[in-house]
Structure 1
Amino acid sequence: MSRQLLAMALAPLLGLFILGIGNGFLATVITLRLDAAGESPVVIGWVSSAYFIGLALGAMLNDRLLLRIGHIRAYGSFASLVAVTVLLQGLVAEPWAWFVLRLIGGWATVGVYLVIESWLLTSGDQKVRGRLLALYMISLYAAGVLGQLLLGVTEAMGGAASFMVIAMLASLSVLPMAMIPRDSPLIERAEPLSPLRLITVTPTGVMGSFGSGLAVAAVYSLLPLYLQRIGLSVAQVGQMMAVVVLGAMLLQYPVGRWSDRHDRQMVLILIGAFTALISAAVLMLPMTPWTLAVALFLLGGGVFSLYPVAVGHAADRAPAGALVRMSQGLLLINAIGSTLSPPLISPIMVAVGDAGLFWSLGGLGLFLVAFFGWRRSVRPAPVPVAPFAPTTPMSSAGAELVVTEELMQGAIEHEHMEDLSEVMPEVAVAEPLVGPPPPDEAHIVYFDEADDSEPAEGEQGELALAEESDSDARR
């Protein structure tokens, strides 16, 4: 990865890191405050789902503001709105008010994510996309680790101290975007992809994003409740949540690098199986504080790696002109899954006990393994286009062809455009992407082995011109 690419990604990643410190433990603060106020898990689940409803609404609408005013000003607008909603939560402690404020906060937060993801996806190509997304997730989860560790400190201050700290961090996150010199990437003006069309283009990417939303929302919203119900203090809950996010952070880059070098569908299958295995271990094995910490560390590494790998797989199926629309659509799918997660899983926890959280996560992991395995059997991973290798001519007429890197990239793009032409007419092209190579990059020389006679006088001139063009091309 070049220094220029890292410099281009520095400002958005640093801004996301600062905002993520506060946003990382806001959900935990809200869950613990509602539980301390005597609210039921169902009420806690609905207040938590309000945030994800806002994520879904923002994923449908926020691209318009981004396309109208650009990445930097859009980021400043969304981050400021996050700060305002958090401060209002410190002033009003009613569940209905928190529901509304969490909805607005989710709408603003997904705008921040859309700015960052579209910035990174349009900054790099397919060869580094997995690592860029991994750096994005590492920044987010590293901030989450620090935020969870701050939970005990801010809660000990009492009152609205936690909300004030979170709001200050959201405001400070604008500074890197406004002060660090950089060029923001160009974005295309295009209509967003509807969920139905996105499902047609990349079913695996859609299901991976949806499953990630279900799992991550359950971890953020209901895992603190589970930990407090088994007897941990507020500070210990924060430490365990920090362990979860730490596992997500440390395993992001290895998984992203692995997905760049192997079939991403197979990586998704293994992530689903790993999630189911860790959930079963928590349910079946005796848990001490240390073994629980190890299990949660591994669970975070599996659950939180699902979304970036799914996004990378989906982006591999899209041409460069559709990346922003693809990112927006997957954020919407992810937000829908996150919205449904607390209302679906919290009744299971009421019915079968607090361990219902891990029964739900294990069942989700097994379902994803089955779905990704089915999709891989229906549509195997494409075979990369191999460089041209000359072979012995089988007839008296042979050809010498210089295959350039541009021709290979054109063949790959043409394959992707064929997959998308039926469901995305706006990206279809009128002319084939792969055609005869330009004269200065490829040449074809025909010869007849059976003819050993001297060329005619007119043919000598044509032969001389061909040899001169061949010499220029080789230079």
Structure 2
Amino acid sequence: MSRQLLAMALAPLLGLFILGIGNGFLASLITIRLDDAGESATVVGIVSSAYFLGLALGALFNDRLLLRIGHIRAYGSFASLVAVTVLLQGLFFDPWAWFVLRLIGGWATVGVYLVIESWLLTAGDQKVRGRLLALYMISLYAAGVIGQLLLGVTSAMGVTAPFMVIGMLASLSVLPMAMIPRVSPLIEHAEPLPPHRLITMTPTGVMGSFGSGMVVAAAYTLLPLYLQRIGMSVAQVGQLMAVVILGAMLLQYPIGRWSDRHDRQIVLMAIASFCVVISAAILWLPLSLPLLAALLFLLGGGVFALYPVAVSHAADRAPAGALVRMSQGLLLINAIGSTLSPMLISPIMTAVGDGGLFWSFGALSLFFVLFFAWRRSVRPAPVPVAPFTATAPMSSVGAELVVTEELVQGALEHEHLEDLSDVVPEVEVAEPVVGPPPPDEEHVLYYDDADLAPHRAPSERTDETG
């Protein structure tokens, strides 16, 4: 990767890292504060679901604002809105006002991810996008780990201090984007596949994406509640949540590589079965703090790996022309699962006790095992068409840009998908044009955020694709 490309990626990566530190422990902080105020697990779940509902709405609509005002100004707008919603939560306490603020905060947060993903992943061509995505994921997970560790530190400073710190970090994240002058690439909008077409194409991918949204959202929002109610201090809650995210960071890649070498449906069944075992162990074993940390580390690795393996399986099924829309549709389904999860699981915790979280984890995982086994008996998985990519898209643009040339080529070569040709209309291939190309065809147009006037990228960047 060239030094020039790293320099272009520096601003969005720094912005993501700074904002991600605060955002990394905000969900845990809100859960703990609602519990301290005596709110039921059901109320905690409803307030928590507002954030994921905002994510889903933002993934559908925020690209329009980005295209209208440009990357830098869009980032400043979204990050400022994140800061305002967090500071307002620190000023006063009301669960239903927090519901509205979390909804707006989720909408603004996915806007931040939209800007960063589109900036990073259109900065270079297909040969370097995988490495840029890896840097993106490392920044995101590392910020989450640090943020969880700061939960205990900031809580000891006072009731409003954590919200002030998160708001300041969101505001500071604008500085790298504003002070490092760069031009930003133009992105295009693409619509997801209709849900019924997506379900017909890849039921396993749809169920895996939906289930991943449910379990990951519950881990972020309800696991801190469980930990506090079993007697953990605020600092210990933050440390154990950091362990969960660390497990996701370290185990996702080896699980993904395993799925490249074996039937992905078997890998999905194995991940779901593993989550059943871990949930049962947490419920029934006498837990010491080190044992609980080890089990949560493994649980984080399992639940966070479910989504990328499911997306990879879906990509093995999809025809080449449907890959982008398929990815966006799965992203939306994942967001729907994330939105429903706290509202469905928190009443179970209220009814059967705090262990209801892991009863829910275990029951959901067992259902997924049975579903994936049934789907494999009906339609065995194809040979993987492209290597596993550790996918962590937070917006429709991120989903679009992880579609690689290898994935498209593999899908084109898949003979058994001929019956799905109606998913994408046939496109006539034009005869090659004899003569020199149009003068503008070999260049990439960029929009400068200063005036939104299209202009040519600097000559030293003509090898990059937009």
TM-score (norm 1): 0.76
Paired AA for residue 333 in structure 2: I
Give the equivalent residue in structure 1 for 2:357. Answer: 357
Deviates more, 1:415-424 or 1:37-46: 415-424
Distance change (3 Å), C-alpha of 1:111 and 1:408: closer
- Are the counterparts in 1 of residues 199 and 206 from structure 2 also a CA contact under 8 Å? yes
Q: Structure 1 residue 102: deviation in Å?
A: 0.5
- Are the counterparts in 1 of residues 90 and 164 from structure 2 also a CA contact under 8 Å? yes
Deviates more, 1:60-69 or 1:146-155: 60-69
Encode CA deviations 1:208-234: one digit per residue, 9 max, x unaligned. 221111111111111111111111111
Between the aligned partners of 1:408 and 1:194, the Cα distance in structure 2 is: 21
Between the aligned partners of 1:118 and 1:310, the Cα distance in structure 2 is: 23
Give the equivalent residue in structure 2 for 1:83. Answer: 83
Encode CA deviations 1:387-423: one digit per residue, 9 max, x unaligned. xxxxxxxxxxxxxxxxxxx999757436498576422
Between the aligned partners of 2:178 and 2:321, the Cα distance in structure 1 is: 26
- Are the counterparts in 2 of residues 256 and 309 from structure 1 also a CA contact under 8 Å? yes
Give the equivalent residue in structure 2 for 1:31. Answer: 31
Paired AA for residue 54 in structure 2: G
**Helix, strand or coil at the partner of 1:422:** helix
Distance change (3 Å), C-alpha of 1:383 and 1:241: closer
Between the aligned partners of 1:424 and 1:77, the Cα distance in structure 2 is: 36
**Helix, strand or coil at the partner of 2:422:** coil
Q: Structure 1 residue 347: deviation in Å?
A: 1.5
Deviates more, 1:7-16 or 1:140-149: 7-16
Determine if the alignment matches structure 1 residue 50 to structure 2 residue 50. yes
Paired AA for residue 100 in structure 2: V
Give the equivalent residue in structure 2 for 1:61. Answer: 61
Paired AA for residue 108 in structure 1: A
Q: Percent of counterpart pairs with the same letter?
A: 79
- Are the counterparts in 2 of residues 130 and 308 from structure 1 also a CA contact under 8 Å? no
Q: Structure 1 residue 285: deviation in Å?
A: 1.5
Distance change (3 Å), C-alpha of 1:31 and 1:410: closer
Encode CA deviations 1:70-101: one digit per residue, 9 max, x unaligned. 54443333222211111111112111110100
Determine if the alignment matches structure 1 residue 236 to structure 2 residue 239. no
Pick from 425, 428, 431: which aligns with 1:430? 428
Paired AA for residue 283 in structure 1: L
- Are the counterparts in 2 of residues 137 and 308 from structure 1 also a CA contact under 8 Å? no
Q: Structure 1 residue 205: deviation in Å?
A: 2.8
Determine if the alignment matches structure 1 residue 205 to structure 2 residue 202. no
- Are the counterparts in 1 of residues 58 and 111 from structure 2 also a CA contact under 8 Å? yes
Map of 1:141-180 to 2, 5 A cutoff? 141-179=141-179
Deviates more, 1:224-233 or 1:301-310: 301-310
Between the aligned partners of 1:158 and 1:128, the Cα distance in structure 2 is: 45
Q: Can you give the 5+ residue segments of structure 1 that lack an aligned partner in the other structure?
A: 386-405, 436-475
Please say which structure displays the higher CA radius of gyration. 1
Give the equivalent residue in structure 2 for 1:368. Answer: 368
Map of 1:282-297 to 2, 5 A cutoff? 282-297=282-297
Paired AA for residue 430 in structure 1: E
Q: Structure 1 residue 10: deviation in Å?
A: 5.0
Paired AA for residue 372 in structure 2: F
Distance change (3 Å), C-alpha of 1:324 and 1:116: farther
Distance change (3 Å), C-alpha of 1:120 and 1:280: farther
Between the aligned partners of 1:328 and 1:351, the Cα distance in structure 2 is: 36
Encode CA deviations 1:120-175: one digit per residue, 9 max, x unaligned. 66678889877765554433222111111111111111132111111122222234
- Are the counterparts in 2 of residues 7 and 182 from structure 1 also a CA contact under 8 Å? no
Give the equivalent residue in structure 2 for 1:458. Answer: none
Paired AA for residue 15 in structure 2: G
- Are the counterparts in 2 of residues 198 and 326 from structure 1 also a CA contact under 8 Å? yes
Between the aligned partners of 2:381 and 2:128, the Cα distance in structure 1 is: 22
Deviates more, 1:65-74 or 1:53-62: 65-74
Paired AA for residue 345 in structure 2: I
Determine if the alignment matches structure 1 residue 344 to structure 2 residue 313. no
- Are the counterparts in 2 of residues 188 and 321 from structure 1 also a CA contact under 8 Å? no
Give the equivalent residue in structure 1 for 2:381. Answer: 380
- Are the counterparts in 2 of residues 201 and 419 from structure 1 also a CA contact under 8 Å? no
Between the aligned partners of 1:301 and 1:176, the Cα distance in structure 2 is: 31
Distance change (3 Å), C-alpha of 1:134 and 1:322: farther
Between the aligned partners of 1:62 and 1:380, the Cα distance in structure 2 is: 35
Q: Structure 1 residue 68: deviation in Å?
A: 3.8
Q: How many residues align?
A: 413
Between the aligned partners of 2:349 and 2:337, the Cα distance in structure 1 is: 18
Q: Structure 1 residue 24: deviation in Å?
A: 1.1
Give the equivalent residue in structure 1 for 2:193. Answer: 193
Q: Structure 1 residue 369: deviation in Å?
A: 2.4
Q: Structure 1 residue 193: deviation in Å?
A: 3.1
Q: Structure 1 residue 356: deviation in Å?
A: 1.0
- Are the counterparts in 1 of residues 321 and 424 from structure 2 also a CA contact under 8 Å? no
Paired AA for residue 40 in structure 1: S
Between the aligned partners of 1:10 and 1:204, the Cα distance in structure 2 is: 37
- Are the counterparts in 1 of residues 87 and 163 from structure 2 also a CA contact under 8 Å? yes
Paired AA for residue 36 in structure 1: D
Between the aligned partners of 2:238 and 2:35, the Cα distance in structure 1 is: 15
- Are the counterparts in 1 of residues 319 and 411 from structure 2 also a CA contact under 8 Å? no
Between the aligned partners of 2:315 and 2:117, the Cα distance in structure 1 is: 11
Deviates more, 1:68-77 or 1:88-97: 68-77
Deviates more, 1:408-417 or 1:251-260: 408-417
Determine if the alignment matches structure 1 residue 413 to structure 2 residue 412. yes
**Helix, strand or coil at the partner of 1:158:** coil
- Are the counterparts in 2 of residues 133 and 308 from structure 1 also a CA contact under 8 Å? no
TM-score (norm 2): 0.77
Deviates more, 1:40-49 or 1:301-310: 301-310
Between the aligned partners of 2:112 and 2:24, the Cα distance in structure 1 is: 14
Distance change (3 Å), C-alpha of 1:236 and 1:383: closer
**Helix, strand or coil at the partner of 1:232:** coil
Between the aligned partners of 1:300 and 1:213, the Cα distance in structure 2 is: 13
**Helix, strand or coil at the partner of 2:168:** helix
Deviates more, 1:194-203 or 1:272-281: 194-203
Distance change (3 Å), C-alpha of 1:198 and 1:168: farther
**Helix, strand or coil at the partner of 1:304:** helix
Give the equivalent residue in structure 2 for 1:138. Answer: 138
Cα RMSD, aligned residues only: 3.6
Deviates more, 1:103-112 or 1:367-376: 367-376
Distance change (3 Å), C-alpha of 1:168 and 1:312: farther
Distance change (3 Å), C-alpha of 1:411 and 1:257: closer
Q: Structure 1 residue 296: deviation in Å?
A: 0.7
Distance change (3 Å), C-alpha of 1:237 and 1:409: closer
- Are the counterparts in 2 of residues 272 and 365 from structure 1 also a CA contact under 8 Å? yes
